[in-house]
Structure 1
Amino acid sequence: MNKSLPHYAVIFTSKHSENTEGYSEMAEKMELLAKQQEGFLGIDSARNEIGITVSYWASLDAIKNWKQQTDHLEAQQKGKTEWYSWYNVKICKVEREYSFNNQKPIV
């Protein structure tokens, strides 16, 4: 993922409710749709009891446009009424980034 600095990260932390019918399909749809949005840079996600999804964006305007995207608005509403018992959103400015990778290449 080639991200210029600085950029922004939206950290979405959540806990599912008991009703998750249709959630996986919508999550897949939202990821595909986000990738088509101007300013989208990438996504990382993990879920056990608590889910954490971090999406990366080129600007605050790109985040605002994504939040207001029609299909995403529908997903947000279903999240509130059906899929989540709680969630938290943090928007952070990423000023520096580095990583380590000690994985052996697959041949």
Structure 2
Amino acid sequence: MYGVIFEVEIQENKKDEYLQIATKLKEQLINEKGFISIERFQSLVNENKLLSLSFWEDEKSILNWKKNLDHFAAQKKGRESIFKDYRIRVVEVKRDYTLQSSDFKDR
């Protein structure tokens, strides 16, 4: 399993536009082969800084989504007129457990 950590700082007065685009893309994203889940978080100290955390079955699925034409157009628009800055990290999940599945629950 892989995770994509997308940190973005939005230009002033562009947050609503960004969120509208993201909402439209999510309709396609949830049907993308290899997609597992996505969540979005907002910084507590900078309301224009957001983080999207998505999980994927494999790296190939991430690359396929990156090439999606609507996603590609959204990336271009973001770089040209919405983003102040961004950072993307693609990570491989080495372990995945919960409170219920953890070995520490009985200790």
TM-score normalised to the size of structure 1?
Answer: 0.81
Q: Between Structure 1 and Structure 2, which shows a larger proportion of helix residues?
A: 2
Q: Is the 8 A contact 1:41 1:58 kept in 2?
A: yes
- Structure 1: stretches of 5+ with no match in the other structure: 1-6, 102-107
- Structure 2: stretches of 5+ with no match in the other structure: 101-107
Deviation of the 1:19 alpha carbon:
4.3
The CA distance in 1 between the partners of 2:80 and 2:26, in whole Å, is: 20
2:11 matches 1:12:
no
What are the within-5 Å matches in structure 2 for residues 57-68 of structure 1? 57-68=56-67
What do residues 9-46 of structure 1 show as CA deviations (whole Å, max 9, x unaligned)?
A: 00000100124152221110112211110000001211
Which residue number corresponds to residue 31 of structure 1? 26
Paired amino acid for 1:17: Q
RMSD: 1.5
TM-score normalised to the size of structure 2?
Answer: 0.81
Paired amino acid for 1:86: D
Q: Is the 8 A contact 1:9 1:94 kept in 2?
A: yes
What are the within-5 Å matches in structure 2 for residues 27-106 of structure 1? 27-48=22-43, 49=46, 50-100=49-99
In the alignment of these two chains, the number of paired residues is: 95
Which residue number corresponds to residue 104 of structure 1? none
